[in-house]
Amino acid sequence: MSRIAAVSALGQQIWLDNLSRQLIESSELARWISEDAVAGVTSNPAIFYNAIRTDPAYQTAVATLKGSAQDAERRFENLVLPDVQKACDLFLPLYEASSGRAGLVSFEVSPALAGEQRATVQAAQRLWSEIARPNAMIKIPATAAGIAAVRECIADGINVNVTLIFSPAQLAAVQTAYREGIERRWQAGQSVDRIASVASVFISRLDSLLDPELPRELQGRTAIAMARRAYAEWLQQPALPGGAQAQMLLWASTSAKNPAYRDVLYVEQLIGQGTVNTVPDATLAAFRHHGEAAPTLNADAAGTEHQLAAIAALGIDLDTVGEVLQRTGLQQFSEAFAKLLDLVR
């Protein structure tokens, strides 16, 4: 068994944080599914910008699209949505075998809509319809407008990946929106048992921001502590009506940004049943080579509370920090999306 597949055996899904035409056409993604039990894919504007800029498989298609009368965003979607559909098709057997709990592929709404609830819902509905795969997920940022849109999309029966969560308050609001969306749909007499959603909690960026302000013994521990507390609370959540799935916790941004840290730190320390970790290619390769699979999300509860208490004692409020990180994340995604559209304009 590969080291990555060993994580799956412990009840956690490993998703690839990457998607491109080359990954599909080379059969590399199919190989990772069969050999490493990779159980899903996430994407974002930065990922597609890099793919379109560097993947030869896109170059001819980009040149052809530039002759069309469509706007840049539609050209981009026409370029990559077929690849999203092909990825969904690759994962469909896993999706069906898991009763809709694995084998999911995420595609993000435009970051320009992060402050617009109605436009986000409309974009999610359109993308859900155009991808037309039961194991697609529409990615929506956890802004105030985005969270309100999530509630509507879940009630509409759309699978949602809620992204850019950086704090306990943001996560709690996302979880409430998911529950309310499920309850609204159930009360309307519609089925809820095959709706899938993940709450994507960003990990390494929190430590990257806080570590310079912390004494050495507290560095590299805050994000893990926040995630472990979130998992402990997630395990206590009440059941949803109609056999609806719990919204899964997904650990995002799990490559180690600090070269002094073990390169698989945020994978090894966040393994827990019923969760997801989405990793870029380099982190996947590193874990395949030397990662250690063990259930760690429930480990060292006392250490988790000590770390969070020490952070609070220093006057650091994680919810305030989360707002800063979310604004920065949105700006980065918006800049990547703008550059992406320039490639096809």
What tens digit of pLDDT does each residue of 227-248 get?
999 999 999 999 999 999 999 9
**Catalytic position from the list 86, 139, 257, 339:** 139
Burial 47-58 (b: 16+ CB within 10 A, else e): bbbebbeebebb
**pTM metric for this prediction:** 0.96
Contact 203/265 with Cβ under 8 angstroms?
no
User: Dihedral, CA atoms, 95, 137, 287, 221, nearest 10 degrees?
Assistant: -130
> Which residues neighbour 115 within 8 Å (Cβ) at sequence distance 6 or greater?
143, 145
Tens-place pLDDT, residues 294-328? 999 999 999 999 999 999 999 999 999 999 999 99
Q: Residue ranges of the chain with pLDDT lower than 50?
A: none
Which residues sit opposite 202 in a β-bridge?
252
Q: Is 139 noted as a catalytic residue in this protein?
A: yes
- Six-digit token pair at 267? 């994978």
The domain total for the chain is: 1
Q: CB under 8 Å to 280, separation ≥6 — which residues?
A: 16, 17, 18, 255
Q: What is the pLDDT of residue 61?
A: 84
pLDDT score recorded for residue 209: 97
Q: What is the pLDDT of residue 290?
A: 97
> Residue 219 belongs to a domain with what CATH number?
3.20.20.70
Its domain, for residue 186, covers 3-344
